[in-house]
Structure 1
């Protein structure tokens, strides 16, 4: 017997509670696809039995597994050309100029998924701002899913992943082929650190960031949770830092925190000066 509407409602509420992600009822079929393997590994015969297990035994590791399985992990290298052109031509050169004396940069890929965004930033710096190779540069990637964090840390990608957004010249220059996978250059991998972080809970100890990329994740949060995330990001940003969102996202409801600017066909945000 399949799940009832009440079962799906319970699963949607569980995901919302664990990760703040809003799952629309029209996407209930995704639960069947993504949770069936977890149900089997938990030793139950059906997804409905799995829901009953979640309700009755309330095992926290399975609750977390459900939330992580339903997290959207769609990504690619250099996703959104306009954004990376803005970074290459304007934002990163300005930050490098301002940080030239201290020779230090801190960047946060706040919804890093399997790591392509963080590694794209590392490649961008190496390719277009080579002076930073001798700087103290750290790119922090975070995601709610521990599974994708481990994947990102490995820095190894299959053919389909490599073919999404990565120019052949950069592939040959910054990756090493190992059988059917491609592995990121060790020096670039060392620039990137990945941690499991739930953006809607009190943040772990994080440095002050010069640049934050918070792209294509706010769409899945309620307005209240978006507000919380914006406050978290604001508190972790340098006064002269930059925030980038996804193309379909805006910093609505946070005008007291961020000022909107437009350049190179893309929007970006500056923190409001603290008084």
Structure 2
């Protein structure tokens, strides 16, 4: 094994150990570009030199954690408001009304955005509820976003986005309704920010709620796991979804052939139900 190949494997092992994500051969092409900022900050030019720095002991308790900086740089934080709109539109038109009927007695909904990145997905949900205030008056709506990346969560909590970020997925009316212009970009308004909470969390750990959620969004997160890790993640997600709740995956993701804990929700692309609930529903329909 060439030295650079061994160094890439060390970086891949670090990412897997910290996040569960696997740096496959098809993703290794982006390592150098992703780490360019770290190379520049430390005056180095390649992964071999970086691995040498990682092996060096930290000089004190307050010295920067270079390994965490490497992990953060390798994470893919791609997201935008109302991402995959045809799929996302099922939420206000089908999924949320369905859940509202199921929770009419308690008037409480809890939603978890797992792998929320810099927050656009969860804020998109907050906007949906804010724009239907009369429909949800008297309800308790809990919106939680989590991500393994500390930097992403910090950005999400700030609610400050660039002009480019707010234009991705938002119309002008929505932008002006929910944001105020603030250097160096746009600040989401306080009444919308108060609707959400963000927390650093790994989807492979115990779910972060006091009880299971009515709806879990975990879009384009499992793509980066190998099969065994993906199975473990589905097991964790199964414990996080109410028996009659929903799991939403990315447009290119499915549970078919991946897990027996969920089945596709009828006529709802990218939405899945816990297996036991689906069996009970079929029994009620057909006896």
The two structures have a TM-score, normalised by structure 2, of 0.86
Paired residue for 2:97, among 81, 93, 96?
A: 93
1:251–1:11 distance in 2 versus 1, CA, 3 Å: same
The reply on whether 1:209 has 2:213 as its aligned counterpart is: yes
Partner of 2:245: 241
Distance 1:273-1:262 versus aligned 2 partners, 3 A rule = closer
Are the equivalent residues in 2 in contact too, given 1:44–1:50 (CA < 8 A)? no
Q: Give unmatched runs, 5+ long, in structure 1.
A: none
Who is 2:158 aligned against?
154
Deviations 1:73-101 (A, max 9, x none): 10010001122221111100111222222
Q: Which residue of 2 aligns with 1:185?
A: 189
Is this contact kept in 2: 1:86–1:263, CA < 8 A?
no
1:28 deviates by 3.2
On the 8 A contact 1:12/1:22 being kept in 2, the answer is: yes
Matched, 1:115 2:114: no
Identify the match of residue 174 of structure 1 among 154, 171, 178: 178
Aligned residues: 271
Scaled by the length of structure 1, the TM-score of the pair is: 0.89
Counterpart of 1:69 in structure 2 is 73
Corresponding residue for 2:44? 45
**1:87-131 per-position Cα deviation (integer Å, ceiling 9, x unaligned):** 111100111222222221110100100000000011112224643
Q: Deviations over 1:124-145 (max 9, x none)?
A: 1222464325422111111110
CA distance in 1, matches of 2:216, 2:138: 22
Mapped to 2, the partners of 1:240 and 1:205 lie a distance apart of 17
Map of 1:13 onto structure 2:
13
C-alpha distance in 2, partners of 1:132/1:190? 16
CA contact (8 A) 1:93 1:129 kept: no
Is the CA contact 1:174–1:184 (under 8 Å) kept in the aligned structure 2?
Answer: yes
Unaligned 5+ residue runs, structure 2? 281-287
Partner of 1:25: 25
| CA distance in 1: counterparts of 2:254 and 2:57, whole angstroms | 40
* 1:221 CA displacement: 0.4
Q: CA shift at 1:253, angstroms?
A: 4.3
Distance verdict in 2 for CA 1:205–1:267, change over 3 Å? closer
Which segment is superposed worse, 134-143 or 145-154? 134-143
Question: 2:207, 2:236 within 8 Å by CA — same for their partners in 1?
Answer: yes
Matches of 2:179 and 2:26, distance apart in 1? 40
1:221 equivalent in structure 2: 225
- Deviations for 1:14-47, whole angstroms, at most 9, x for unmatched residues? 2122212122334434222222433554x45344
